[in-house]
A and B are shown apart, each in its own frame.
Chain A
Amino acid sequence: AQSVAQPEDQVNVAEGNPLTVKCTYSVSGNPYLFWYVQYPNRGLQFLLKYITGDNLVKGSYGFEAEFNKSQTSFHLKKPSALVSDSALYFCAVRDGRSGNTGKLIFGQGTTLQVKP
């Protein structure tokens, strides 16, 4: 069965420190991986995606994510957190066999709290 796991409900980090939001996945075909962020009272916004190529993907707002096939992980990272990064983060995967579709499987979401 296809699934995405975000093992942490909440991640707390001090401003200026590096942050990591974890994500692991399970799909049958090639994984196409995405991170979205939801700020309060807003819709989900696309951060970055991994389709193929370099395992380190750079995205919006200074975020990056590392694809690790052997560990089936796609952790989101940022070298120096900002208070404004505080939001709800969702990891998602699309099975490469499902054709050209936006049908995504999402994780439960991780709340990132960055304290000054």
Chain B
Amino acid sequence: EAGVTQFPSHSVIEKGQTVTLRCDPISGHDNLYWYRRVMGKEIKFLLHFVKESKQDESGMPNNRFLAERTGGTYSTLKVQPAELEDSGVYFCASSLGRVNEKLFFGSGTQLSVL
């Protein structure tokens, strides 16, 4: 069974540019999460999809971040325009949605904004 796939694994862009991160969850997982780890600090929640609907986007930093999950399959996270403080590792995770079940994480996208 394929795990959660994220790409690119690394992205280096200049301030002001646009970057789109992609996440393919495990097939059949309705729940998809985006998390971010900045500067070696704690991993912070960004948002949660249930199928194609945004269940909770309380962790999105600002309106430069746009997440989509059209069709309830893969998800994209676009940052436009990117700022220096957006640098970090962006993780995607998925789950079936049972109570207190574990999350399956992707390897993350290391984003560097110069």
Q: Is the beta-carbon distance between B42 and A107 smaller than 8 angstroms? A: yes
Q: Which of A37-75 contact B (CB under 8 A)?
A: 41-46, 49, 51
> Which residues of chain B are near A34, meaning CB under 8 Å?
102
Q: Is the beta-carbon distance between B102 and A46 smaller than 8 angstroms? A: yes
Let me know if A25 is at the binding interface, CB within 8 A: no
Look across to chain B and name the residue whose beta carbon is closest to the beta carbon of A100.
B99
Q: Is the beta-carbon distance between A101 and B105 smaller than 8 angstroms? A: no
Q: Is the beta-carbon distance between A108 and B40 smaller than 8 angstroms? A: yes
Look across to chain B and name the residue whose beta carbon is closest to the beta carbon of A34.
B102
- A92-105 CB contact bits vs B (8 Å, 1 = yes)? 10100000111111
Let me know if B79 is at the binding interface, CB within 8 A: no
> Which residues of chain B are near A43, meaning CB under 8 Å?
3-4, 91, 93, 104-108
Q: Assuming the A-B contacts A100-B97, A101-B48, A101-B56, are A42 and B107 also in contact, with contact meaning beta carbons closer than 8 angstroms in the complex?
A: yes
Let me know if B64 is at the binding interface, CB within 8 A: no
Given A4-B42, A43-B105, A102-B48, 19 more A-B residue pairs with CB atoms under 8 Å apart are A34-B102, A36-B105, A42-B107, A43-B3, A43-B4, A43-B91, A43-B108, A44-B105, A46-B102, A49-B100, A51-B100, A90-B43, A94-B100, A100-B100, A102-B101, A103-B48, A103-B56, A105-B42, A106-B43
Could you list which residues of chain B lie within 8 angstroms of chain A, going by C-beta atoms?
A: 3-4, 31, 33, 35, 40-45, 48, 55-56, 91, 93, 95, 97-108
**CB-based closest 3 A-B pairs:** A43-B105, A46-B102, A106-B43
- Give 12 A-B contacts (CB < 8 Å), ordered by A residue: A43-B91, A43-B106, A43-B108, A44-B43, A100-B97, A102-B31, A103-B56, A105-B42, A105-B45, A106-B43, A107-B42, A108-B40
